[in-house]
Amino acid sequence: MSNSIKLAILGLGTVGTGVINLINDNLAELKRRSGHDIIITEVGTRRQRDNIDPNIIQNSDLMAVAASDNVDIVIEVIGGTTLAKDVIMHAIKNGKHVVTANKALLAEHGNEIFAFAEDNNVHVAYEAAVAGGIPIIKVMREALAANKVNWLAGIINGTGNFIMTEMRDKGRPFSDVLSEAQELGYAEADPTFDVEGIDAAHKLALLASIAFGIPLQFDKVYCEGITGITLQDVNYAEELGYRIKHLGFAVRRDGQGDNAAAGIELRVHPTLIPQNALLANVNGVKNAVLVNSHPLGQTLYCGDGAGAGATASAVMADVMDLVRVLGNKDGDEQDSNNQNNHGHHVPHLAFIPEQLSDTPILRAEQMTTGYYLRVHASDNPGVLADITRILSDAGINIDAILQKPAHKVGQVPVIILTLPVVESQMNLAIEKIENLETITDKVVRIRLDELA
């Protein structure tokens, strides 16, 4: 009979319960694929559960569970960045491999956690931390290991995607759709992390580190939410052949072009993308990540980004990888004793720690994108000429102009699409446009990307 691999689950919310159900449902398949019996020996929970196998020890002392001699792999699904960090570090200190779905913790403290894991010769796996059931971490770390990633763009928050989809398809205002998302459980009572882009920024920091071999730098991700998006802009974008999606971008820039700087852009914001683009047709609560790499080209990874089943699937994918690591080490004494040996598991951020790059992260004003501008101007002769002159003087090329009927007497909305430009140039141009006496309101700007 095969050796048993013993799991502890810290947290019995939606995901923790989903992991238990998955193991119970697929027990024979897990053994057939891994060659081991995979069993849950302990769970960390604040209150005793009657629906848990009586052979599983229930303990409210999470630290004790994390250090238990009866555990090989600790699964952390309690969330947060305080207790979760303490528990994970305690598990690592006690020689336990860790699986976590905690993107906020890793984005903010991952460098420290991964270094500590290296020192203790254990692994921290985190497939479930980004895009739920989509195996994007494994793809980036392993399947694309021979490729140079040029850029990636992702719908990596299902709540935001649901809101933008409903606004476009049904003409519903933001506040109305947000209320429904909360009723359906897609958004929290406090939806700030979702609608302001913070959740997506956490995930983007992880993806970018793997893509470009850089340390985790969540604090340098430019972050803009969707609370300012109006039905007016959604409809104008559609009329011009675009859709607005809330996207995370990680882009490698070589510094070519006027005023362009070399480095990596990390940005989360609403974006106009062509209606026929792959990402434009990923709707509802689905997640998707589009990766442009050399020599492979563009590849799209799409699926459920949240929910018990999707997240449990990603958690158990990590567990299966670690089961193989444990199985291999059982038969290889050299692996067990070599602190610098990764065995059959790739490094945490896909690059050997000593080879992580110090490539700079570009500041917001150094980023390069196209723009959608909505300008409200007085219905006077020469106004459009003044606007286009300012853009031209700033070195900004116009791709399209759409003048709409007046919503208010004497005020005309003018929609302008520009070709890519460095943000500092656009900032100066918008300031000059807003200073025109004929401009009646602040300029609305939304970034634009052709995803080419």
Whether 372 contacts 417, CB under 8 Å = yes
Is the predicted pLDDT of residue 5 greater than 80, yes or no? yes
DSSP 156-206: --HHHHHHHHHHHHH---HHHHHHHHHHTTSS-SS-HHHHTSHHHHHHHHH
Whether 396 contacts 350, CB under 8 Å = no
Q: Is the dihedral of CA 28, 30, 33, 34 positive or negative?
A: negative
For residue 407, the domain's CATH number is: 3.30.70.260
pLDDT band for position 324 (cuts 50, 70, 90):
confident
Residue 302, both tokens: 């799409």
41 and 143 within one domain: no
Q: What is the mean pLDDT of residues 10-32?
A: 93
Domain containing residue 102: 4-134+308-355
Q: What is the mean pLDDT of residues 79-108?
A: 97
271 and 177 within one domain: yes
Q: Which helix (H) or strand (E) holds 95?
A: none
Express each pLDDT in 232-287 by its tens digit. Answer: 999 999 999 999 999 999 999 998 877 788 999 999 999 999 999 999 999 999 99
160 and 108 within one domain: no
Q: What is residue 188's predicted lDDT score, i.e. its pLDDT? A: 87
Would you say residue 362 lies in a domain? no
Q: DSSP label at 105?
A: H
Q: What is the mean pLDDT of residues 166-171?
A: 96
Whether 210 contacts 141, CB under 8 Å = yes
441 and 380 within one domain: yes
Average pLDDT, the chain: 92
Is the predicted pLDDT of residue 209 greater than 80, yes or no? yes
204 and 292 within one domain: yes
For residue 276, the domain's CATH number is: 3.30.360.10
Express each pLDDT in 112-132 by its tens digit. Answer: 999 999 999 999 999 999 998
Which residues share a beta bridge with 128? none
Q: At which residue do the structure tokens 């563009």 appear?
A: 298
Would you say residue 361 lies in a domain? no
Cα distances (Å, whole numbers) of residue 181 to 164, 224, 271, 355, 369: 11, 20, 21, 43, 30
Whether 272 contacts 266, CB under 8 Å = no
Whether 187 contacts 198, CB under 8 Å = no
pLDDT band for position 345 (cuts 50, 70, 90):
low
Residue 447, both tokens: 């970034």
Whether 343 contacts 325, CB under 8 Å = yes
Between 7-11, 234-238, 297-301, 324-328, the lowest mean confidence (pLDDT) is in 324-328
CA 114 to chain centre: 19
- The number of distinct structural domains making up the chain is 3
Q: What is residue 337's predicted lDDT score, i.e. its pLDDT? A: 43
DSSP 122-155: --EE-GGGSSTTS-HHHIIIIITTTSEEEEEEEE
Reference 23, options 53, 57, 65; nearest CA is 53
Residue 408, both tokens: 């208010």
Would you say residue 69 lies in a domain? yes
318 and 289 within one domain: no
For residue 127, the domain's CATH number is: 3.40.50.720
Q: What is residue 210's predicted lDDT score, i.e. its pLDDT? A: 96
Q: At which residue do the structure tokens 């007085």 appear?
A: 378
Would you say residue 442 lies in a domain? yes
Residue 23 — φ and ψ, nearest 5°?
A: -65, -45
Q: What is residue 334's predicted lDDT score, i.e. its pLDDT? A: 41
Would you say residue 147 lies in a domain? yes
Catalytic residue chosen out of the listed positions 103, 203, 220, 329? 203
Residue 310, both tokens: 């999707």
pLDDT band for position 344 (cuts 50, 70, 90):
low
255 and 148 within one domain: yes
Spatial separation of the C-alpha atoms in residues 401 and 375, rounded to whole Å? 11
Q: What is the mean pLDDT of residues 184-196?
A: 92
Express each pLDDT in 28-77 by its tens digit. Answer: 999 999 999 999 999 999 988 888 889 999 999 999 999 999 999 999 99
30 and 120 within one domain: yes
Q: At which residue do the structure tokens 């849950």 appear?
A: 40
Would the pTM count as exceeding 0.75? yes
124 and 17 within one domain: yes
Would you say residue 226 lies in a domain? yes
Residue 244 — φ and ψ, nearest 5°?
A: -95, 120
Q: What is residue 72's predicted lDDT score, i.e. its pLDDT? A: 97
Spatial separation of the C-alpha atoms in residues 134 and 128, rounded to whole Å? 8
Q: What angle do CA 330, 336, 338 make, to 5 degrees?
A: 155
108 and 162 within one domain: no
Q: What is residue 335's predicted lDDT score, i.e. its pLDDT? A: 44
Which residues share a beta bridge with 346? none
Could you tell me which residues come within 8 angstroms of residue 242 by beta carbon, excluding any fewer than 6 positions away?
Answer: 272, 273, 274, 275, 280, 372, 448
Which residues share a beta bridge with 287? 303
Reference 311, options 7, 8, 19; nearest CA is 19
Spatial separation of the C-alpha atoms in residues 272 and 237, rounded to whole Å? 7
Q: What is residue 329's predicted lDDT score, i.e. its pLDDT? A: 62
Residue 203: active-site member: yes
Is the predicted pLDDT of residue 360 greater than 90, yes or no? yes
347 and 418 within one domain: no
Cα distances (Å, whole numbers) of residue 392 to 110, 129, 385, 421, 447: 44, 44, 10, 12, 18
Is the predicted pLDDT of residue 96 greater than 50, yes or no? yes
Residue 253, both tokens: 């820039």
344 and 240 within one domain: no
Q: Pick from 263, 286, 304: which residue ends a domain?
A: 304
